[in-house]
Structure 1
Amino acid sequence: MIIGVISDTHGVLKQGALAALRGVDHIIHAGDVGSPEVISALRLLAPVTAVRGNIDRGAWAWSLPVEEMVVLDGKTFYVLHDVNDLALEPASTGIQVIVSGHTHQPLIKNAKDVLYFNPGSASQRRRGGPLSIGHIRISAQLVQPEIIHLDS
């Protein structure tokens, strides 16, 4: 199974991001979606799990949860916009993957048998960083994260 991970679109869904998400089995959006049209476009590609970020306002945004837990191919994912708001101990609750955004900086980190994954921003650079999304491949017991730079 391939999970596409995107964050911080801020209402803009670039063609490079759409191309990199084609063919995935599920999409996770880690907040700062920016508009309901972004979610609609992603749903044309695959089922979507999305959370609300700090810029998401209005009636459409209030329908998005602040955090979400989803099981994909036997792995438990916990999705929230800002990892600094994490109020639980992932390993003790059976969570294998934490997906977040907010920083606009891609991150792959393992700590206490938990993968922390931030795909970076798909629409706005910060501190000279690249535009990026991510893929997480799940096969058997393996969870393989990958950052995909949209600039190259």
Structure 2
Amino acid sequence: MSKRIGLLSDTHSYLDPAVFDYFGDCDEVWHAGDVGDASVLDELEAFKPLRGVYGNIDDTSVRSRLPLNNSFVIENLPVLITHIGGYPGRYTARVRKLIEEEKPKLYICGHSHILKVMMDKQRGVLHMNPGACGRHGFHRMRTLLRFAVTDDRVEDLEVIELGLRGKID
């Protein structure tokens, strides 16, 4: 069995309508924090099953609906999502401890607005940051990730570009 995942982060209250087209064939949508307005969660939850975390800009309406850290297993793959955490070689102390304790095989964060996918060979963890798909921030290109989880591994990873941050299509 396989699950298709749509991964986004840093919407900052703006959910591009193209997200629904790109994630139409996904089984779940995951949000790595900085949701902004809680209406973004409403739209995503009405569309697909949603997993996520709150970010540093999120108010109590979002924080009451999402955790700081989200750990779960999907298709035998242990996953850890948090908003601020760094990347291999530069984890925050909090996330380094979480990774050591929970031993995820997929670690996802947002916050930096920089799309990054890299393997932490020392810990055997695949790190993903989907970049930012909202209009606020310093990123140039608005981005998403789409992938499949099959038999405890990530497959068919795709980077999706939604367009320039300053340009609304």
Give the TM-score normalised by structure 1: 0.89
Give the whole-Å Cα distance in 2 for the aligned partners of 1:29 and 1:117: 12
Of 104, 107, 110, the match for 2:116: 107
**Number of aligned residues:** 152
Give the whole-Å Cα distance in 2 for the aligned partners of 1:44 and 1:101: 23
> 1:56-95 residue pairs with structure 2 within 5 A?
56-84=58-86, 85=92, 86-88=95-97, 90=99, 93-95=102-104
Match for residue 106 of structure 2?
A: 97
Specify the structure having the higher radius of gyration (Cα). 2
Deviation at 1:75, TM superposition (A): 0.7
Give the TM-score normalised by structure 2: 0.80
8 A Cα contact 2:9 2:131, kept in partner: yes
Q: Which runs of 5+ in 2 are unaligned?
A: 87-91, 165-169
Deviation at 1:142, TM superposition (A): 3.3
Match for residue 118 of structure 1?
A: 129
* 1:134 maps onto 2:110 in alignment: no
Q: SS of 2:145's equivalent?
A: strand
What is the RMSD computed on CA atoms of the aligned residues? 2.0
Query: Identity of aligned pairs, percent?
Result: 26
**Shift in alpha-carbon separation, 1:10–1:46, aligned structure 2, 3 A:** same
Q: Which runs of 5+ in 1 are unaligned?
A: none
Give the whole-Å Cα distance in 2 for the aligned partners of 1:21 and 1:124: 19
Deviation at 1:141, TM superposition (A): 4.5
